[in-house]
Amino acid sequence: MEIFYIDEDKHYVAIDCIIFGFDAGELKLLLLKRKFEPAKGEWSVMGGFLKREESLDEGARRILLQLTGLTDIYMEQLQSFGDVNRDPGERTISIAFWALIKVNDNDIKLAKTHGAQWVSIEKIPQLIFDHNNMVQKGLKTLRNKIVTKPIGFELLPEKFTLPQLQSLYEAINQEQMDKRNFRKRILETGLLDKMEEKEKQSSKKGAYYYMFNKEKYRLFAEMGFHFQMKAKKDSLIKGNCQV
Amino acid sequence: MEIFYIDEDKHYVAIDCIIFGFDAGELKLLLLKRKFEPAKGEWSVMGGFLKREESLDEGARRILLQLTGLTDIYMEQLQSFGDVNRDPGERTISIAFWALIKVNDNDIKLAKTHGAQWVSIEKIPQLIFDHNNMVQKGLKTLRNKIVTKPIGFELLPEKFTLPQLQSLYEAINQEQMDKRNFRKRILETGLLDKMEEKEKQSSKKGAYYYMFNKEKYRLFAEMGFHFQMKAKKDSLIKGNCQV
DNA sequence: ACAAAAGTGTTGTGCGTACACCCATGC
DNA sequence: GCATGGGTGTACGCACAACACTTTTGT
């Protein structure tokens, strides 16, 4: 090989992952302190360089695995970022991905060894390079996506309650919804199977657990879906998310 | 420079442009025959290699300029394609863009010198590499985008008639719409200014020209917009687009 | 005079939002 | 027994789809 394009420039290609999680009623981002120069010690999203023998998706999965130890992560390509001076070290093109993980899945043991932390999206610090842009874009994409694909479940444990699910939607959209309307509409999709068991930590009465129905889920993921609700009258959540 | 990442792999990065146009009631794609190896002589979208000193957007604009001679083109990043063997010549990552052109703008003189041709999206040939995938994805993105941003105008000449505009929407979505509903809804956006002049080629009666209102356009482009209509009862356009 | 395309209003209904009270339990 | 969060049904309004006839003018 190596015969066709010898006169063309070659570039470093990085992969950066915007990793979302949901915990304690808040949408969070997995951030870490960069461990090499340039910008060592500053906050960033997880990233790495693309290797010669891996595809973009494979690269992203490798990086997610390194950080979380998880192999089965919902992940999509976000966008490429390629301003000439975006990385002060050297000209590097970054292909950003976004991913959704279940925070409690394994407590992200590896994340700790990497010095990673979950940070509420309402308190994102200054990040290196153009990572704040990436996060912004990722958030926007997540908000759009959740309307047409029932991906909320990727952020929740296998069993969850309706109040939890609603608070997830509220956290993502930064607005409150009407309880009755939310329950009615989400249930009539047929996407949820009610369990007999109740969750009793967060209330005396207890809320029924639900699981999502995998066949319906797959169906909607392919065929399309539409779940969008207006915010409750005059109630945007205070302190709008500032990335 | 050149001090930080010396152990990492470098890659060829290509930029490929899915260029849409609208003419004679059909949505078209600007395709050309590849002029160098590998795959010389086969159909492809317009592309080129990213240079060291240009950003992704700059690269895409350079390539669009080369092919069309136009500098002011509506353009967005689509997605990156990076399978290891997608280019049989050498491992190359492609960052795809999509663009909208007014076909009659200057008759795309340069396009001809490049051996480019407008091809109806219903008759896309076999393209090299993963270019058919790119086109597929571009089409999907265009269809989604036109719901939330009034970009249809980027495909039409400065002055256009309502029947033309409707046929554009129909060509993009491959479905027919109700004339009365279409006119009513598009007019009540305030996006269109009626001219006094009529277009008289395509009918005896003649249809009034309209221009789009640039302020409203900018407003919608930022603030958001929503224009979607169900297809006319039982009338998908025959011969669904096969990419 | 007729063919061919442009232009024009009204009605019904389904979806989505607003809204308030009872229930179960732990303390 | 009371405080806390979970669970439930209805009514109204609006946005959207359905639908058919008249107008203009070139030939």
With CB atoms and an 8 Å threshold, state whether A80 touches B83. Answer: no
* Same-domain pairing of A163 and A122: no
Asked which of A144-148, A219-223, A236-240, B156-160 is least confident by mean pLDDT, the reply is A236-240
The domain boundary residue, chosen from B106, B130, B148 = B148
With CB atoms and an 8 Å threshold, state whether B90 touches A12. Answer: no
Q: What is the mean pLDDT of residues B170-195?
A: 95
Q: Which residue's alpha carbon is at the shortest distance from the C1' of D5?
A: A203
CA distance B181 to B168: 15
CA distance B208 to B195: 7
Better-predicted residue by pLDDT, A38 or B177: B177
Count interface pairs A-B at CB distance under 8 A.
106
pTM of the complete model: 0.92
Whether A181 is covered by a domain: the verdict is: yes
Q: From the Cβ of B179, is strand D under 7 Å away?
A: yes
The domain boundary residue, chosen from B97, B126, B148 = B148
Whether A42 is covered by a domain: the verdict is: yes
Whether A139 is covered by a domain: the verdict is: yes
Query: What phi, psi does A111 have (nearest 5°)?
Result: -55, -40
Whether B232 is covered by a domain: the verdict is: no
* Residue–nucleotide distance: B207 CA to D11 C1' (Å): 45
* Same-domain pairing of B107 and B183: no
A243 pLDDT higher than 80: no
Q: What is the pLDDT of residue A205?
A: 95
Q: What is the pLDDT of residue A3?
A: 62
CA distance B207 to A137: 42
* Nearest one of B174, B176, B177 to B240, comparing CA atoms: B174
* Same-domain pairing of A209 and A135: no
* Same-domain pairing of A75 and A109: yes
Asked which of A61-75, B28-42, B138-152 is least confident by mean pLDDT, the reply is B28-42
Q: What is the pLDDT of residue A35?
A: 81
Q: What is the mean pLDDT of residues A150-169?
A: 95
Q: Which residue's alpha carbon is at the shortest distance from the C1' of C23?
A: A205
Token pair 């910008």 is found at: A39
CA distance B81 to B96: 7
Q: What is the pLDDT of residue A114?
A: 80
Query: What phi, psi does A158 have (nearest 5°)?
Result: -55, -45
* Same-domain pairing of A142 and A160: no
Reported as a pLDDT band with limits 50, 70 and 90, residue B53 is: very high
A164 Cβ under 8 Å from any chain B Cβ: no
Peptide bond into A38 cis (omega under 30): yes
Q: What is the pLDDT of residue B104?
A: 75
* Same-domain pairing of B23 and B142: yes
A164 pLDDT higher than 60: yes
Report the first-to-last Cα separation within chain B, whole angstroms: 45
Let me know: does A165 contact A156? Beta carbons within 8 Å.
Answer: yes
Checking DSSP bridges between strand A10-23 and strand A92-100, what pairing results, if any? parallel
Q: What is the mean pLDDT of residues B101-126?
A: 82
B238 pLDDT higher than 70: no
B94 Cβ under 8 Å from any chain A Cβ: no
A176: tokens are 């409150």
Q: Which of B8, B38, B82 sits opposite A12 (nearest CB)?
A: B8
Whether B56 is covered by a domain: the verdict is: yes
Q: Which nucleotides of D are covered by protein (CB under 7 A)?
A: 3-10, 16-20, 23-26
* Same-domain pairing of A141 and A37: yes
* Same-domain pairing of A81 and A166: no
Whether B231 is covered by a domain: the verdict is: no
* Same-domain pairing of B171 and B102: no
The domain boundary residue, chosen from B148, B171, B190 = B148
* Same-domain pairing of A110 and A161: no
Mean of pLDDT over chain A: 90
CATH at residue A185: 1.10.10.10
**Residue B158 DSSP SS3:** coil
* Same-domain pairing of A111 and A17: yes
A182 membership: H or E segment, kind and range: helix A179-187
* Same-domain pairing of B74 and B172: no
* Nearest one of B143, B139, B136, B154 to B228, comparing CA atoms: B143
Reported as a pLDDT band with limits 50, 70 and 90, residue B2 is: very low
Q: How many domains does chain A have?
A: 2
Whether B5 is covered by a domain: the verdict is: no
Can you give the C-alpha Rg of chain A in angstroms?
20
A residues 9-28 closer than 8 Å to B (CB): 9-13
Mean of pLDDT over chain B: 90
Q: What is the pLDDT of residue B234?
A: 60
Whether A177 is covered by a domain: the verdict is: yes
Residues 190-219 of A with CB under 7 A from strand D: 198, 202-208
Which positions in chain A touch B10 (Cβ < 8 Å)? 10-13
Nearest-CA distance A149 → chain B (Å): 14
* Nearest one of B228, B160, B231, B224 to B192, comparing CA atoms: B160
A222 Cβ under 8 Å from any chain B Cβ: no
CATH at residue B121: 3.90.79.10
B91 Cβ under 8 Å from any chain A Cβ: yes
Look up the domain containing B57 and give its range.
12-148
Q: What is the pLDDT of residue A171?
A: 96
